[in-house]
Chains A and B, each alone.
Chain A
Amino acid sequence: MSLLGANFRRDLEIRRYPLIVYALVPLVSLALQAWLPKALGRISPWILFDLPLVVTIYFALGRRSPVQGTIMGAAMGLFEDALSHHAIGLNGLAKTVVGYLAASVGVRFDVDNFLIRAALNFSLSLLASGIYLFVYRFLLGMELDWRWLAELVKAVDNSVIAMVLFPLLNRLQIRD
């Protein structure tokens, strides 16, 4: 199933960043995720996004390590859960899976292409929403009204944000 040969996989660049980037970028993304809806709420209720998810996907793709993607996703999701009033672990589970999958895909495919990145963000956003809904409704057995249209819009917005944010974050990496 792998599209790339073993030699090409070995040659894939593993991006490295200063330690402060690992600390600050997720923190800023969490702070902006909490602050921006308040600032943008008056403009349109259809501006939906998940910056921590985009940042998780970025680092998972860049590091190409499923373990690191898992840890990053779990940390971001747990922080998001802690800021909400829902049980802690709902977003954590969703983003753990997303981080793992993004890193696994990054090992197997060339994801430097813009379109592939956008498609990856779109599909992983929808997957995260699906896992959230599954855990909420079926694992916990709680009632939750759901709007798939809003989740689609969020996935599209995440893809657009990723196309702008990824090149900016690429500038922060350590170059040999």
Chain B
Amino acid sequence: MESFFFRFRNQLVLLAFLAAQIIGLATQVRRSDAGRGAVDTTDGSGVRLVRLWANAVVSPPERAIHYSLVGIQKMWTGYFDLRYVLQQNQNLTKTVDQLRLEQAALLEDARQGQRLQAMLGFQERYIYSTVAAQVYGTSGSDQSKVFYIDKGSNDGLKKDMAVISADGIVGKVRDVFQHSAQVLVVNDQTSGAGVILETTRIRGILKGDAAGNLEMVGLLADDRIKPGEKILTAGGDLIFPRGLPVGTVLKVVRDPDRDSFIDVIVSPAAHLEQLDEVLVITSTEPRFSADDQNNIAASETLKGPEVEAQQKEAQQNQLKESQIMAERLPGLTDAKAAPDTTGTGQSPAGASAVPPAPAPAPKLLPALHPDRFSPSVAKQSEAGQSGADTSQDATKQGQAPQAADEERKP
């Protein structure tokens, strides 16, 4: 017996390891009710512990490599490579000024939208607070599109929080540790997000394929879907807030498994392979955050003479355009009205200089079989058919009911 174990110890060790891992797999994978291939992906407490240990072992050297390179990079860009900083600063200042003007202009629309939503009882959720995090590593497997960020439960992160970048959505938090978190990227095969096409308003599910491409699946063939159309989050998955950019339609292909269905290949808005920093949406609220409100207040206070001058210029341009339009459309001007002597055409109130033209009277078509209830007949009877300018049509129409009355007489 002893010789048997000694002789086949290699094979026995191999079998023991294989059996242990197969049993471990069997305990982890639980079938869900969603059909074949659908499994419950939530980790049990034991599995989560193993992941925690693995992360605790691999994360420190990984972070050391990452932060060393980031440090070198920062040292280079912060101290040595400062050649274009002044020019960049000027350009950025101009951009910020321009954005503040645009923000001020959009503010009123946003407030009006909020008021209308409040009236309709519709609760739009704004991104209220985010946590910025650095990406320091991946799973290392091309079958598992996940990455690790340097913020965890200590920073307020929780499972299933949305992760975005400045360009668009990135993924969702899958697992949270104390000082790090695992993020499942939207282009993973097991990922999913509710999305909507911007113009056609067609909804679908976004998922990844084996090559890491994004695709919108489960769509009926529709000619309106064209390459270049923008795709936004639909907000129905309770992870991503509504209206975040997802990407654009790259091409439309037939679903290989189902006739009359199509797959939309999507070019992602975020650079999913080049992520350095991401934002985790930690809470959403049906109002602007304090930071947003401060920004808006700053924009309003910064509305100085420059903005007023721009607004006046815009008003004047609008007036000129309306004048030109009025001249080109004679039907809208009263030929008998006195010519405008002010030159500018601007009324004291600043309203449009074009006097309101009298609305042209609608010309009614003659009824085929008029009777006394026909409007033209009623009008004519009121007028007593007097007046030299009565049209011939009206005369004919007036005669017709009389003939009809005569016919009805016994």
Contacts and interface: CB of A to CB of B under 8 A. Distances in A.
A86 B53 CA distance: 16
Contacts of B141: 80, 83-84, 86, 91
B143 A86 contact: yes
Given A93-B22, A141-B36, A41 B139 contact: no
Given A35-B138, A67-B9, A82-B50, A41 B189 contact: no
A142 B37 contact: yes
A85 B58 contact: no
Residue among A86, A104, A144 with max Cβ neighbours from chain B (10 Å): A86
B18 interface: yes
B142 interface: yes
A31 B210 contact: no
B58 A139 contact: no
A125 interface: no
Interface stretch (A4-12, A145-153, A168-176): A145-153
A89 interface: yes
A89 B147 contact: no
Contact of A83 (B39, B136, B139, B190): B139
Given A90-B25, A145-B189, A147-B211, A33 B14 contact: no
Interface stretch (B59-67, B242-250, B339-347, B397-405): B59-67
B87 interface: no
Contacts, number: 158
Interface string A69-86: 011001000111011111
Contacts of A45: 211-212, 273
A88 B28 contact: yes
B147 A38 contact: yes
Nearest to B188: A85
Given A84-B141, A87-B28, A147-B210, A30 B41 contact: no
Given A35-B66, A83-B54, A85-B182, A96 B143 contact: no
A6 B140 CA distance: 41
Contacts of A163: none
B17 A70 contact: yes
B319 to A, nearest CB: 52
A82 B53 contact: yes
B361 to A, nearest CB: 69
B140 A80 contact: yes
A86 B65 contact: no
B37 A38 contact: no
A127 interface: no
Interface string B346-375: 000000000000000000000000000000
Main secondary structure of the interface of B (DSSP, over half): mixed
Interface residues of A, number: 53
B interface residue count range (under 10 / 10 to 19 / 20 to 34 / 35 or more):
35 or more
Main secondary structure of the interface of A (DSSP, over half): helix
Contact of B139 (A34, A78, A88, A150): A34
Nearest to B28: A87
Residue among A41, A91, A154 with max Cβ neighbours from chain B (10 Å): A41
Nearest to B142: A48
Interface in B187-231: 188-190, 209-212
Interface string A13-46: 0000000000000011011111101110110010
Contacts of B118: none
B113 interface: no
A88 B138 CA distance: 16
B21 A35 contact: no
Interface in B377-396: none
B331 interface: no
B138 A37 contact: yes
Contact of A38 (B14, B138, B189): B138
Interface in B1-33: 9-10, 13-14, 17-18, 21-22, 24-25, 28-29
A34 B189 contact: no
Given A35-B66, A86-B144, A96-B18, 4 more contacts: A80-B139, A83-B139, A85-B41, A88-B51
8 contacts: A79-B57, A85-B190, A88-B47, A93-B18, A96-B21, A104-B10, A144-B189, A150-B210
Interface of A: 27-28, 30-35, 37-39, 41-42, 45, 48, 52, 66-67, 70-71, 74, 78-80, 82-93, 96-97, 100, 104, 132, 135, 139-147, 150, 154
